[in-house]
Structure 1
Amino acid sequence: MDVNHFTGSYPINEKYSKRVAYFSMEFAIDQSLKIYSGGLGFLAGSHLRSAYELKQNMVGIGILWKYGYYDQGRNEDQTLRVDYINKSYSFLEDTGIKFTIKVHDSDVWVKAYFLNPETFGTAPLFLLTTDIEENDFVSRTISHHLYDSNETTKLAQYILLGIGGGKLLDMINFDPAIYHLNEAHGLPVAFHLLKKFRSVEKLKEKLVFTTHTPEEAGNEKHDINLCQTMSYFDGLALDEVRRLTGIKDNSFNVSLVALRFAHRANGVSQLHGKVANDMWNKYEGICPIISITNAQDYLYWADKQLYRAKDENNTAAFDDRKKYLKYRTFEIVADQTGKIFDPNVLTIVWSRRFAGYKRADFLTRDKQKFEALITNSQFPVQIIWAGKPYPKDFDSINMFNYLINLSRQYPNVAVLTGYELHLSKRLKQASDIWLNNPRVPREASGTSGMTAAMNGSVNFSTDDGWIPEFIKDGVNGFVVPQADYHNTPIEAQDETDLKHIYEILNNKILPTYYTQQDQWRHIIWNGMEDVKNGFNSNRMADEYYEKMYS
């Protein structure tokens, strides 16, 4: 690799020759590279995989997190324990590149590592670290913990990603035509580019922004004076920052500024694009917001033997493969919980990031109906929960631990730890029903159901995120009818959603699985075909070049 004039690592498809730098706080690329927390990283990983498969002229810019997000262990009583374990990666290449950035008006040294595209089949990825001997202890901690809870450390991380990434691209002379922010964490690169080009118009030509948050309250805001103190604006005077960004008070709205600096932005589903436009159109100076629905990489996620059996209409081979995949995952269940699950029993999996609006415990809120479901001898079920709460989100941690304690009462209920790429794939392969019940319209997209369908699972979801574009109720999945989300209190919405979930489970899903096996298999196959055709990330990566980078 020529570090002085980086031109990529593989022959570029002329259709995708425009140079793009893709900034993301996290990338889920391989189980062994623990620099991700959840959905944003899963998306970024699939994007880089598809960029490689399509031979797009893209490089990823991320951070080499010393302790990753966290390792999810168990206390003596089986409840969640947050572990921080130092990570090392022999497969990353030392570029030899070191440089300084300003953080809190002091020099912080940055070192760049490189993930070769051939290692895992991705676009080239540069990872930045401050954990080197040239720095003092505090500076070294900037790249220690993904999504550090300390606000000043978090701002320093954004400076590392944005300004550090921008300086690295200058040093290797990659000269991107497009700087793509996957969420607004890397926004400081915009101030680096303003210093470089001395033109807002030139900046706007270069910058695009993907927003993932469907609620204004969920978009980060920081005190503008703290941002200035932390060197977030790369040396620009505060009066100049206010003039350029249009921020008049002391609340620096990161997503709003990204929308004002970019020439184009996108929501991550058709529904989210509409929600984002409704949310932001009251502000002056924002760019157009279009929709590009998230997707996941088929080559990485899909079980090819299931697809082969489906395509050959070999029902026996399909059923045998699905049972084997369930059995293999149930070995993990037994290892972690001491419970033996049955591959012949309908298995419901709820597995993703734990957050309040995702309602992980939703099925358990009606104790009578939950008890009847779990003890149904005619149509038995097994339920698995898994996922990582944010390590400082104590409400979500309490919910996780509540489910662990609840699971002790039942031999057919399990809660697993260690939810990362490997376990995610195994759970999707084992699930018959992939349960997704966020409160509408809180889910911008959600992608776990896409990869579940690629592994022979049936999506059962509230009608949010990508689901309205995918599920044909009873044909390729099952969808919960929408409540009146705009005019009813949250408690009433939850009550309506839960009532519908149990009605669909008891009256449609369970009878179909146990008494109409051909019909059940047909629903699985429809979902597998529809997700492959519409939600393979190659489609998404192509759309970004066509609609965002053009």
Structure 2
Amino acid sequence: MYNISGLKGRKIAYFSMEIGLKNEMPTYSGGLGILAGDTIRASADLGLPLIAVTLLNRKGYFMQKLDSEGRQTEHHQDWAPADYMELLPHEVTVQIQNKDVKVKAWLYEHKSMTEEKVPVLFLDTDLEGNSPDNRQITYSLYGGDRKYRLKQEMILGIGGVRMLNCLGCSISKYHMNEGHSSLLAIELLRQNNMNAEKVKEHCVFTTHTPIKSGHDVFLHDIVLDLMSDYVNFETLKKYGGEHDLNMTLLGLNLSNYINGVAKRHREISQKMFPGYKFNSITNGVHSYTWVTPHFRQLYDKYLPGWANEPELLVRVRSIPDNEIWDAHKAAKKELIDFVNSKCDTKMDYNTLTIGFARRVTEYKRPTFIFSDLSRLRKVNEAGKIQLIFAGKAHPRDTMGKGFIEKIHQYAKELKGEIEIAYLENYDIDIAMKMVSGVDIWLNNPQKPLEASGTSGMKAAHNGVVNFSVLDGWWIEGCVEGITGYAIGPKPEDEKTPEQIRMMELDDLYNKLEYIMIPKYYCRKDEWINLMNNSIEMIAYYFNSHRMMHRYVTEAYL
């Protein structure tokens, strides 16, 4: 039995709809959850008095199955929480549609190599006494309709605050990781005699998306149906929006510290929500977690202490180039063997390998590299390439699913020329293999819709070369030809969308054909220099230790 008194000293409550900590615990869907996991890992390393709050997601996000044509089907991912965490005896209730919904919490402890721990509360409504509908609130991440989503956000925000109170926690800062948890601010209003200024002092709000559809909005009819007995409706309209309940607006109006997740994202957010002061803390990744064991051994040998001081990676030049290359070859072999065992491919260890893995949706442009097949074939004639894709499309994103099918069609069309693989059911383990095993990490979202992005940071930690559109974090990380390569013009260049697209395509094909392929195949020392630069100039800075130092000094203190 966990000693509950150990929770009472926690001062920072980190709320996130999804948190990715272990591959076997499907409590995440993608970047937001993986970032939350890295936040917890870094907080433990640094000994921060943080406690995290999320939902249990008994059925996970979904298990992706792809048939031979690339058609995606979704399946529940049942798992046993008791294998990883302990159900606490404490219970709170949240009123939904005039009924008390019981909420309990499973406690998971993340333990750092420094022996420090960060507790994570996974809220659960699958309890005796709750109606069948309400038992399922904590079943499926991002599943169901708008009512289901609002119920989940009520459990997370309202139930989360009540559970922390029930456990005796004395929280000084509540960090809302995206708008899903914004109802915690309404619960704090209720507990502080509707004193908004007092609530703002305790709240930190981070927004992660420059896409309008990425901000949760609920019609007032749904809000009244689910929450009419909970809070004065005029209060919700005052802080959450006159015409509907905008969860981002709610977080903005009740937080003293607001930030975007990259410098460019701060600018975009400022335009989306004029009148609010946005700060920027660029995301980072947990270095030790995202470095392949092949590189960990090197870093341990030449850069002792790097795991808890990732800034030491700036000294990567102390590692002989041949050892850097050997570590990369070992990681690449692992990936290629895995791909060939899972897909109908004959990928080669020595071929320049390009990786593209992320949530599959329109703005990510997963089929962009296939825009001009004649030019892609010309690239391949200059030096052989092979492509590895992975990623899930949301069950309701028919266009996203269509992209996966198109990639399978291109794979068949180019069979015998360019080997193309699509790995199903993208998860933490597959991500680890990809970000360390490919030679080039490709990212070509439609600007300015990438808030930050973190997969390229993980790739850089493993000496993989980034090749990306200048959006999100890459605007800060790219030194052309030194840390990697840019696709297309700078954000400040005033061009039409069509001009931008043509410049991006020219860069994509020309830089591959005339710069990257010759370097990889003919000037290996220059390629290894790029790898060293990625580690020295990107990994040392774009890590979650630096990110959390910033949150502590700017948002929490």
Tell me the TM-score normalised to structure 1 length: 0.92
CA contact (8 A) 1:50 1:122 kept: no
Separation in 1, partners of 2:112, 2:137: 27
Separation in 1, partners of 2:229, 2:106: 23
Local SS of the residue matching 1:116: strand
Separation in 2, partners of 1:66, 1:169: 21
Q: CA deviation at 1:220?
A: 2.2
CA contact (8 A) 1:70 1:84 kept: yes
CA deviations over 1:359-380 (Å, ceiling 9, x no partner): 1100001121123334x2x411
Q: CA deviation at 1:148?
A: 1.6
1:109 corresponding residue in structure 2? 102
Equivalent AA in structure 1 for residue 189 of structure 2: L
1:253 is aligned, of 246, 250, 260, to 246
Local SS of the residue matching 2:259: strand
- Say yes or no: does 1:39 pair with 2:34: no
Within 5 Å, which residues of 2 pair with 1:77-156? 77-89=69-81, 90-118=83-111, 123-156=118-151
2:443 is aligned, of 431, 436, 442, to 436
Separation in 2, partners of 1:455, 1:477: 13
Separation in 1, partners of 2:520, 2:5: 59
Q: CA deviation at 1:304?
A: 1.4
Local SS of the residue matching 2:4: coil
CA contact (8 A) 1:306 1:455 kept: no
CA deviations over 1:519-542 (Å, ceiling 9, x no partner): 110011011112232111011011
- Say yes or no: does 1:206 pair with 2:202: yes
2:399 corresponding residue in structure 1? 395
Say if 1:469 and 1:453 are closer, same or farther in 2 by CA, change over 3 A: same
Q: CA deviation at 1:495?
A: 2.4
Say if 1:4 and 1:325 are closer, same or farther in 2 by CA, change over 3 A: closer
CA deviations over 1:244-298 (Å, ceiling 9, x no partner): x1733x22222122111101100000111122122212x4xx4x31000000001
1:317 corresponding residue in structure 2? 323
- Say yes or no: does 1:354 pair with 2:375: no
Give the length in aligned residue pairs.
Answer: 532
Bigger Cα displacement from structure 2, 428-437 vs 299-308: 299-308
2:308 corresponding residue in structure 1? none
Equivalent AA in structure 2 for residue 273 of structure 1: R
Bigger Cα displacement from structure 2, 406-415 vs 90-99: 406-415
2:271 is aligned, of 250, 274, 278, to 278
Local SS of the residue matching 1:438: coil
Q: CA deviation at 1:509?
A: 0.8
Q: CA deviation at 1:133?
A: 2.8
2:310 corresponding residue in structure 1? none
Bigger Cα displacement from structure 2, 346-355 vs 85-94: 85-94
2:306 corresponding residue in structure 1? none
Say if 1:246 and 1:51 are closer, same or farther in 2 by CA, change over 3 A: closer
CA contact (8 A) 2:38 2:286 kept: yes
Q: CA deviation at 1:217?
A: 4.9
Alignment gaps of 5+ in structure 1: 9-17
1:11 corresponding residue in structure 2? none
CA deviations over 1:467-499 (Å, ceiling 9, x no partner): 111111101111123167886553443222112
User: Percent same amino acid at aligned positions?
Assistant: 30
Equivalent AA in structure 2 for residue 32 of structure 1: E
CA deviations over 1:308-334 (Å, ceiling 9, x no partner): 575543222222221111111112211
1:241 corresponding residue in structure 2? 236
1:225 corresponding residue in structure 2? 221
Equivalent AA in structure 1 for residue 398 of structure 2: F
CA deviations over 1:107-155 (Å, ceiling 9, x no partner): 1111210002338976210001112232221111211110124100000
Q: CA deviation at 1:99?
A: 2.2
Q: CA deviation at 1:166?
A: 0.5
CA contact (8 A) 1:473 1:479 kept: yes
Equivalent AA in structure 2 for residue 48 of structure 1: I
Q: CA deviation at 1:216?
A: 3.9
CA contact (8 A) 1:93 1:116 kept: no
1:544 corresponding residue in structure 2? 551
Bigger Cα displacement from structure 2, 179-188 vs 86-95: 86-95
1:167 corresponding residue in structure 2? 162
Say if 1:337 and 1:517 are closer, same or farther in 2 by CA, change over 3 A: same
CA contact (8 A) 1:476 1:527 kept: yes
Q: CA deviation at 1:94?
A: 1.4
Equivalent AA in structure 1 for residue 331 of structure 2: L
Separation in 2, partners of 1:489, 1:141: 47
Say if 1:215 and 1:118 are closer, same or farther in 2 by CA, change over 3 A: closer
Local SS of the residue matching 1:214: coil
- Say yes or no: does 1:472 pair with 2:484: no
CA deviations over 1:185-235 (Å, ceiling 9, x no partner): 01111111111011111111111100011244532221123213212x771
CA deviations over 1:377-428 (Å, ceiling 9, x no partner): x411111111111111010011011112221232511111121100001011
2:408 corresponding residue in structure 1? 404
CA contact (8 A) 2:44 2:112 kept: no
Bigger Cα displacement from structure 2, 403-412 vs 497-506: 403-412
Say if 1:270 and 1:157 are closer, same or farther in 2 by CA, change over 3 A: same
Q: CA deviation at 1:544?
A: 0.4
CA contact (8 A) 1:181 1:187 kept: yes
Separation in 1, partners of 2:527, 2:460: 13
Equivalent AA in structure 2 for residue 7 of structure 1: K
Separation in 2, partners of 1:356, 1:27: 24
Tell me the TM-score normalised to structure 2 length: 0.91
CA RMSD of aligned residues (A): 2.0
Say if 1:387 and 1:71 are closer, same or farther in 2 by CA, change over 3 A: same
2:283 corresponding residue in structure 1? 294
CA contact (8 A) 1:156 1:230 kept: yes
Separation in 2, partners of 1:352, 1:251: 31
